[in-house]
Amino acid sequence: MLLPYFVYWVAVMFLNRVACTLVATLLAFLGSQVHSFAAICEPNFTQKLCVAGHAYDRHCTPLPDSYSDYQIDRQLHDLFELSPGMVQKGFCSVSEIRIVKNWGTISHGGFVDGTRIFVDRDFLFQIALMEPDRAFERNTYYFPQGSDAESFELVDHHQVEKHPKHAFGGEFVVRYEFAHFFLHELAHILDFNWEINTHAGVGYFGCFHAHQVLGYENHTQGWRYISIVSKPFPKGLTSEVYSQLLNSEFASFYSMSSPREDFAELFADYVLLQYFDVNYTIEKSGEELFDRMLQFENPNIQKKLNIVRLVLSWSEMTKQNQIQFANDRGACRGAFDPR
């Protein structure tokens, strides 16, 4: 999920800065001439889903009948129907959902390249059949990625469990991991979408990264995108690490790997909570270490949450507010002021 974006991002930053600025300006102008995309669109998942032997094979073929057991198409439609307009827009702008048989060691479960979503077949089968309220055991995190800084490895030897649950009761209408995966990838697609993010090369959370890199925080972290953990995590999680997370501006430990993952993680969690009523807790031996909804009330994460809300409301903004949004993003001011 990470490395391709980092490479892309660096390339955009250093090789194509001028060209991208021109393209962005042009697209912003063109975008302003056509009123925003309609909130209603037809995602055509059946036509977008295909299977390839390897990620970048030339051919990607329609799903064989044996895939029907997993109801991938239907689950995507369910997710689409319940999603807010901007997420639906993201779905509609997906050009292909490529299921890859021989995944190798590309990344965990999937990634986005342009408007294509690549997903490991085994991983997809797993999340398509998991119980709706079940989550993966996430016990190893590596970060920062795409950095020459010392790599931190967090290994959990304490059987921490993530428990998806409803914020206000009710039934699970989507499978948690399935929904989280696709909402996370769609967040990347919205983040890279030049139509709404005229600085897509550096993403919506680019100002937070710039703030760190430029040393406003008076530290020398270089490209590292991390601020709540100053040294490698000790072997094994402690409650203290989760209370740090609870008081931080990051949605998850994975968020700390880059501004792009930070945005995608927060976006997915926010949409799940607000539109699917899905909260989660992280527990260890019955002790509650983290509560998603509780963290969203923390003042430290409000700036980023506000950006997520703005992105979700983009299609309803007036033209003038869309321009303001783009200008603020470019200048790291207003909602995008990281200070």
Which spans of this chain sit near Zn ion (rule: CB under 5 A)?
Answer: 1, 261, 264
Identify which of residues 177 and 261 has a Cβ nearer to Zn ion in the complex: 261
Identify which of residues 67 and 176 has a Cβ nearer to Zn ion in the complex: 176
Residue nearest to Zn ion (CB): 1
Cis peptide before 144 (omega within 30 of 0): yes
Name the helix (H) or strand (E) containing 326: helix 319-331
Identify which of residues 181 and 290 has a Cβ nearer to Zn ion in the complex: 181
Q: How far is the CB of 107 from Zn ion (least distance, A)?
A: 8
Contacts of 280 (CB under 8 A, 6+ apart): 135, 162, 163, 164, 165, 176, 291, 292
Polymer length in residues for the chain: 339
Q: How far is the CB of 2 from Zn ion (least distance, A)?
A: 6
> Reduced to 3 states, what is the DSSP secondary structure of residue 97?
strand
Contacts of 233 (CB under 8 A, 6+ apart): 152, 153, 154, 241
Q: How far is the CB of 64 from Zn ion (least distance, A)?
A: 28
Q: How far is the CB of 317 from Zn ion (least distance, A)?
A: 26
Find out whether 47 and 58 touch, Cβ atoms under 8 Å: no
Identify which of residues 156 and 261 has a Cβ nearer to Zn ion in the complex: 261
Identify which of residues 95 and 159 has a Cβ nearer to Zn ion in the complex: 95
Q: Is 232 exposed, middle or buried (0-12, 13-18, 19+ CB in 10 A)?
A: exposed
Q: How far is the CB of 205 from Zn ion (least distance, A)?
A: 12
